[in-house]
Amino acid sequence: MQSASRTTLGAVGAVLTIAAAVALASTSRPALAAPGPLRTALDRIAPATSAAPSAADVAIAAARAEMAAVLDDSLLGLSGKLRARFLLAADADRLHRVLDVARDARADGEIVPRASELSIVPMLPFSAKVRGRVGPYVLGTWPHERAWRRGDVDAVPAGFLQVTEANRALQVSTHFRLGDFVTKNQFGVWPKAMVLRESLVDKLELVIAELQAMGVPVTHMHVMSGFRTPAYNAQGLGSGRAEDSRHQYGDAADVFVDNDRDGRMDDLNGDGRVNIADADVMVRAAERVEARNPSLVGGVGRYPATSSHGPFVHIDTRGRRARWG
């Protein structure tokens, strides 16, 4: 894993013109469910084939304040709380160039974008999966993988994050760590391969912020189930899991507020009990988030308590509205 805190590619990424900053501003607040907007921004700010601009072309001093606002708006998500971006290798290198420029502002005492503290986590391409595995880690086969082999690149995830014992504690946003979303099996196998969409993390952060605005304190939201490998998901077919579950695509999570970290939903509505009514509080928050952020529309489902778990809420960013429970 590489961190944006490194200082490399300085010669290539040592400048950002006002024109480039303005170009990136036009793509601010991208729909994080798709990589296209970020890639478009990178194309404009750090073309893959461009050489380092000459000193005569730069206007860093004048552009710094604008650059800070643009990068924060474009890279920290709608919530402003993302702390990592997940990119395939070529785009990861290009984003490093941009953030190198942002970090250079520190030495000059200029405005520094919060985005300069992002971790950039490179992804392995989907083709790294061989016979259902990435290295020793078993993934299985995605429902539409045959379509991918016929050229439909959207039929499967773009790639995989590698989660190691060293990076599982990486903060991907204000309230969530990389390891929160791994499949709950193969506990002794490292590294793990995982799919995680930034749009999901962004939406969860917005739900937390909405709950707080509703007067519900949230210091910890527990991820009961995040990414599920297709092999793991198949074990639950017929008992509540869907064959084409969004959990396999990294844009879904089953969550509940657990400030006291006792492993169960907290009493969110203050009635002295923990039941489905507390899940309803989270559903209302998610509804409000979607109403204000159409790019994050998706599924919201509520689940009652059972003998093995308390109530919880499913939240995803599938791109179309779905409700159940």
Residues 181 and 320 in one domain: yes
Q: What is the CATH number of the domain that holds 160?
A: 3.30.1380
Are residue 164 and residue 183 in the same domain, yes or no?
Answer: yes
Q: Are residues 241 and 303 in the same domain?
A: yes
- The verdict on 109 and 233 lying in the same domain is no
> Does residue 89 lie in a domain region?
yes
Look at residue 101 in the predicted model and tell me its pLDDT: 72
Domains in the chain, number? 2
Are residues 171 and 308 both part of a single domain? Answer: yes
Predicted local distance difference test score (pLDDT) of residue 57: 43
Q: Which residues of the chain have pLDDT under 70?
A: 1-71, 104-112, 238-240
Judge if 197 and 294 occupy the same domain. yes
Q: What is the pLDDT of residue 116?
A: 77
pLDDT in tens, 37-46: 555 555 555 5
Distance between CA 22 and CA 37 in Å, rounded? 15
Same domain, 94 and 141: no
Instruction: Domain of residue 195: give its range.
Output: 129-324
Question: For residue range 226-255, what is the model confidence (pLDDT) as tens digits?
Answer: 999 999 999 977 666 778 899 999 999 999
- pLDDT value of residue 67: 59
Per-residue model confidence (pLDDT) at position 72: 72
